[in-house]
C-alpha cells in the first residue's frame, strides 16, 4: 500500500496516496461543523489557525474521516504517512502530531518535511526560494540543498483570509445596503480578484474602472468595480491594509539579502510561488514586473512547473512534493518506525524529520 501524504492548511486539507503526477485524491475544507449536544445547533470549528494546528480533538476527528472514510484505511491495518510542516512549526506541535499518529492511529511509519522544501521538489529543484501565500499566512523561505535556511526565512500573519476581510470592507463601502456573507465574499474574491499590471495601472482604476453586476445566492445584486484590484494590490502595497510592511517582492529580496552572497543568485533565480492566493489572475505577471523593478542586483525569477505535473500545481505543490519525497523516505527506511517511536517517544521527530 502506498504511503499517504497529508497537507493540512488553514482553509483546505489535501490528502491522498503518494502518486506525484496526480492531484491529491481529497481536497476538503479544514473547517468543521460540530453539533452542540443540547439544542442541535452546530458551531464552526477551525482546527488549523494561521497554518498551525490549534484544536487537536477536531484534528483527530478530521484525520479519522480522511484516512478511514476517505482513503479507505482499515482499523488494524494502518499504513505509513507523511505530513507537510509549515514554516516555524513549534517543536511541541511536531511532537503532538507524531504522538497522535502512532498512539491513536497506530500507523506503521511517519515522516514530516517542511512545505517550502516540498514545493521546490514539486518543480524539480532542491535549492531555491519558496513564497507560499496561504489562507492564514505568507511564508518566505530560502532552501539550500533541501534544507530551509531558517535565519533568513520570514513568516507574516497575512494571507487569503485577511484579503477576504479587506474585500468585505471595500464591498460594504460601495454596496452599503447589501449584507454580504463572508462565504459569498470568499467566492467573489476567487471569481473576480485581479492583480493590476503595476502600481500606475492600479492608480488609474481610481478614475476609470469597469463595474460588473454580481447576483448573490439570495437574489440581491451588488456592483463590483475597483475592489477587485484592491485585493491583489494589498500583497504589493500592504499599507492598504494598514500595515507598515514592504510588498511581497521586496520582502523576498530582503530575506535573500541576508543569505551568503554565494547562494543569492541561485535562490532568486529559482523562486517558486505557491498557495491558493497566488493563483489570482495577473499575480504572476505582477510579481515578475515588481521583480524587474526591485532593489536587487539579481532579479527574482519564477520557476515554471514541468508540463507533466497536474494543472493548478501552485494550489497543492507541497502535497505533490510530499508525494515525491514519500517515494524515497519510506522505501529507504529513512522514516520513523513504530519500534523507534516506542523506544524514544515523540522527541524522535526532531532527530529524524528535519
Condensed to tens digits (0 to 9), the pLDDT of residues 184-225 reads 999 999 999 999 999 999 999 988 899 999 999 999 999 999
Neighbours of 154 (CB within 10 A): 17
- pLDDT reported for residue 150: 95
What is the pTM assigned to this prediction?
0.94
Query: E strands, 216-345, where?
Result: 221-224, 271-274, 336-337
Query: Facing residues of 53 across strands?
Result: 48
Confidence of residue 39 (pLDDT cuts 50, 70, 90): low
Cα three-residue angle 328-135-335, rounded to 5 degrees: 20
Residue 177 CA to residue 186 CA, distance in Å, equals 19
Confidence of residue 38 (pLDDT cuts 50, 70, 90): low
Task: Please name the residue that has the C-alpha cell 445566492.
Answer: 217
What mean pLDDT comes out for the span 114-141?
96
What mean pLDDT comes out for the span 322-345?
97
Query: E strands, 258-308, where?
Result: 271-274
pLDDT of 23 strictly over 70: yes
Which element (helix H / strand E) includes 285?
Answer: helix 283-292
Condensed to tens digits (0 to 9), the pLDDT of residues 264-315 reads 999 999 999 999 899 999 999 999 999 999 888 899 999 988 888 888 889 9
For every residue of 199-243, DSSP letters joined together read: HHHHHHTTT----EEEE-TTS-EEEESTHHHHHHHHHH-GGGGT-
> Number of C-alpha atoms within 13 angstroms, CB side, residue 240?
23
Amino acid at each position: 500500500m502506498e504511503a499517504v501524504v497529508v497537507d493540512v492548511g488553514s482553509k483546505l486539507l489535501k490528502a491522498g496516496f503518494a502518486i506525484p503526477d496526480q492531484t491529491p485524491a481529497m481536497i476538503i475544507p479544514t473547517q468543521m461543523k460540530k453539533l452542540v449536544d443540547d439544542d442541535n445547533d452546530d458551531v464552526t470549528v477551525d482546527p488549523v489557525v494561521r497554518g498551525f494546528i490549534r484544536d487537536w480533538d477536531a484534528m483527530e476527528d478530521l484525520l479519522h474521516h480522511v484516512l478511514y472514510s476517505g482513503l479507505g484505511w482499515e482499523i488494524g491495518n494502518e499504513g505509513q504517512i507523511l505530513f507537510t510542516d509549515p514554516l516555524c512549526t513549534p517543536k511541541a506541535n511536531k511532537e503532538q502530531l507524531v504522538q497522535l499518529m502512532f498512539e491513536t492511529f497506530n500507523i506503521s511509519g511517519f515522516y514530516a518535511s517542511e512545505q517550502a522544501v516540498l514545493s521546490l521538489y514539486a518543480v524539480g529543484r532542491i535549492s531555491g526560494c519558496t513564497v507560499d501565500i496561504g489562507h492564514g499566512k505568507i511564508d518566505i523561505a530560502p532552501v539550500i540543498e533541501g534544507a530551509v535556511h531558517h535565519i533568513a526565512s520570514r513568516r507574516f500573519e497575512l494571507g487569503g483570509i485577511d484579503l477576504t476581510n479587506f474585500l468585505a470592507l471595500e464591498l460594504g463601502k460601495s454596496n452599503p445596503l447589501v449584507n454580504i456573507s463572508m462565504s459569498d465574499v470568499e467566492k467573489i474574491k476567487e471569481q473576480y480578484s485581479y492583480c493590476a499590471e503595476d502600481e500606475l495601472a492600479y492608480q488609474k482604476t481610481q478614475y476609470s474602472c469597469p463595474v460588473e453586476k454580481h447576483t448573490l445566492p439570495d437574489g440581491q445584486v451588488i456592483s463590483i468595480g475597483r475592489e477587485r484590484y484592491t485585493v491583489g494590490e494589498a500583497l504589493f502595497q500592504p499599507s492598504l491594509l494598514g500595515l507598515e510592511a514592504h510588498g511581497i517582492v521586496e520582502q523576498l529580496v530582503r530575506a535573500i539579502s541576508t543569505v551568503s552572497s554565494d547562494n543569492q543568485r541561485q535562490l532568486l533565480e529559482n523562486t517558486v510561488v505557491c498557495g491558493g492566493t497566488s493563483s489570482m489572475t495577473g499575480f504572476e505577471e505582477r510579481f515578475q514586473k515588481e521583480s524587474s523593478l526591485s532593489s536587487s542586483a539579481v532579479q527574482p525569477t519564477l520557476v515554471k512547473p514541468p508540463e507533466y505535473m497536474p494543472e493548478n500545481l501552485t494550489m497543492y505543490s507541497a502535497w505533490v512534493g510530499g508525494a515525491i519525497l514519500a517515494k524515497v523516505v519510506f522505501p529507504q527506511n529513512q522514516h520513523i518506525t513504530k519500534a523507534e517511536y516506542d523506544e524514544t517517544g515523540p522527541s524522535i521527530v526532531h532527530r529524524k524529520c528535519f
